[in-house]
Amino acid sequence: MEASSYFAILVIFCCSVAPSLKSEPEVPRGHGEELGRHRDPEGHIPVLHDVPSPLEFWEKYASQRKPVLLRGVAKNFPAYSLWTDEYLRENYGELKVKLEAKVEKDHYPVGEKGLAQDTIRNFLKTYKNQDKYIVSQLPDPMSKEVMVLPCVRCGSFKNRALEANLWLSSGGTKSLLHKDADNAFNCLLNGTKDWILIDPEHEVNVPMAEEAISEYGGFSLINVDRVNLQRYPDFAKVPWWYANITAGDCLWLPYSYLHQVRSYGTKNMAVSVLFSRLKEFDSTGCDTAKPEYTPLSEADMVWTYDGIASQTMGNTDPFELNETLVDWCEENKDKILDATAVLEGLKQMQAMEEEEDENFEVHDVDILEEISHQVMMILDPTGTGSVSCDRLTQLTVAELKAVAEVMSSDPANTEQYEYKHFSPEDVRSVIMLAYDADSDRLELEAFIKKYQEALHGSEKIAREVFEMLDPENKGYANKDDLKGGMSQVLDMFTPRQLDDPAGIQWQHAKMEDEMFRKDAETPMQTHSRNAETPMQTHRENDKQADHAHGEL
């Protein structure tokens, strides 16, 4: 073969195989790995070893919406040394708390009081070997052993403490990447926690779930164990800070500051106190006030919880709500607030989440109308039909709290949450599965077993349901009993609450992430998830961070 012909064939061959030799698109750094692998951190958040003065705290941190870690300050809390499991059991065992799974949004565990509801005593018997986590409003009797830090005990902060929360697990908890609506001091009493923090200015590059009503809080659709940077490429630009927290530390978390938290230790316990989103700070009294730790029981807390009745965890800040009501009134051409104006305000809040969607339609209008009328019954008890804007500026905290209960109460705060959680269709299916057509009987024990197995519901609610089907207390229900009681049962499980678009989005994202895991997981990514998390990698640098920021 002539050289020229050979060369021509070689060129043709190379051209034909060139496309197959093309390298795959470069995989972004951190793709398919834990949150924080996409880039190096900016560093540890500032660390202080003493509580700053109220004015310094406001000027350097609170007003600037900057997080800060106060090392060792919670060691001054009586709870730090007192709250052993034995002490909690003996002194607070009968108090009721809310439960979650260790992995946020995974499921709701069953407790002694029902789905997501338990007593402290029962929790302490089971938490070492079960997937359960107290994420609850702090019962009032326990507040005397938690302290409020001196930097928030005077001026504007003094009367703007909203609620206190309790967090208790056997470690291994993992949150979503999310933001909270209010400022908070988070104080760790046992174990260690690692935080990833993202400044709100970078939220534009973070995929967030859409809430039913526009809020300062919310969560990201990012899978914190396996970040899909091909689906969310802009997230690769997001810088992050970290905080390594040990027992005795308190972290100031500004409102709407994105964060993700992992906990460690055989017992991991923390308390948090939430504060309003203050825009200004009146330092009156701060110059003369003695900087002392104050028992939380002596603070003017907006939302409290007796440990027995329903909780108010997550209810709206009444001071912020007051501003919203006044705004709605002033936007009305008649300068009054009536049910129509409240309804329009609620619709606007819902639409704010979808303002880019020209086809958006407000959902659950009938529920919004019901809320509007309930709000006006509180604001206008004499039934005149409206209230003036001036009247709204004079509302008491008690009136505002009543409105907040109507507008923002969480069904998970009650023992009746199970009735909101399961659908009528699912409950009907369980009843029919447990019913034995041959004997024409639905036996109590058979129903309880099927209810727990199929729905992961509680024995408590299963018994309540059976009582509706067996009003004569025979111990079983026949076909006629089921016909007579079925509608009552299903009505109990028919929700009257706003749809949760964020939850639906999360479930869709979770399914897509599972498909992504199966299709794209590599040995390297598997190894990375079995290795240290990004925050653990940097924990050894914590002492250096203390030194570097100790004077900040």
Residue 276: closest CA among 163, 401, 137: 163
What CA–CA distance (Å, rounded) separates 127 from 130?
A: 5
pLDDT at site 366:
86
Nearest to 380 by CA among 329, 314, 313, 438: 329
Residue in 136, 134, 125 with CA at minimum distance from that of residue 89: 125
Over 90: is that where the pLDDT of 504 sits?
Answer: no
pLDDT at residue 422, rounded to an integer: 93
The counts of H helices and E strands in the chain are 19, 21
Residue type, 21: L
Q: How many CB atoms within 10 Å of residue 321?
A: 18
pLDDT > 70 fraction of the chain, expressed in percent and rounded: 81
Which residue, among 167, 157, 147, 184, has the nearest Cα to 68 in the 3D structure?
Answer: 184
Task: For 313-343, write each residue's pLDDT tens digit.
Answer: 999 999 999 999 999 999 998 999 999 999 9
Please say whether the beta carbons of 337 and 379 come within 8 A.
yes
Please, what is the angle between helix 424-434 and helix 479-492, to 10°?
Answer: 160
What whole-number distance in Å separates Cα of residue 203 and Cα of residue 405?
29
| Per-residue model confidence as pLDDT tens digits over 264-319 | 999 999 999 999 999 999 988 888 767 799 999 999 999 999 999 999 999 999 99
Per the CB < 8 A criterion, the answer to whether 112 and 119 are in contact is yes
Reported as a pLDDT band with limits 50, 70 and 90, residue 549 is very low
Express each pLDDT in 121-144 by its tens digit. Answer: 999 999 999 999 999 999 999 999
For residue 304 the two structure tokens come to 């409290």
Tell me how many degrees the CA angle 16-19-25 measures, rounded to the nearest 5. 175
**Strand 294-295, strand 336-337: pairing:** unpaired
Give the pairing of strands 47-48 and 68-70.
Answer: parallel
Contact present, 56 and 46 (Cβ < 8 Å): no
Say which range, 108-112, 374-378, 509-513, 545-549, has the weakest mean pLDDT: 545-549
pLDDT score recorded for residue 359: 46
pLDDT band with cut points at 50, 70 and 90 for residue 217: confident
The single residue listed with the structure tokens 């302490």 is: 124
User: What pLDDT is recorded for position 24?
Assistant: 62
User: Which residue, 449, 373, 76, 97, is CA-closest to 249?
Assistant: 76
Dist CA 22 CA 422 (whole Å): 52
**Domains within the chain, CATH numbers bracketed:** 1-278+502-540 (2.60.120.650), 318-409 (1.10.238), 423-492 (1.10.238)
Mean of all residue pLDDT scores within the chain: 87
Q: At what angle do helices 424-434 and 444-455 cross, to 10 degrees?
A: 130
Helix (H, G, I), strand (E, B) or coil at 291: coil
Q: Over the stretch 349-358, which tens digit does the pLDDT of each residue have?
A: 776 545 444 4
| Beta bridge mates, 96 | 119
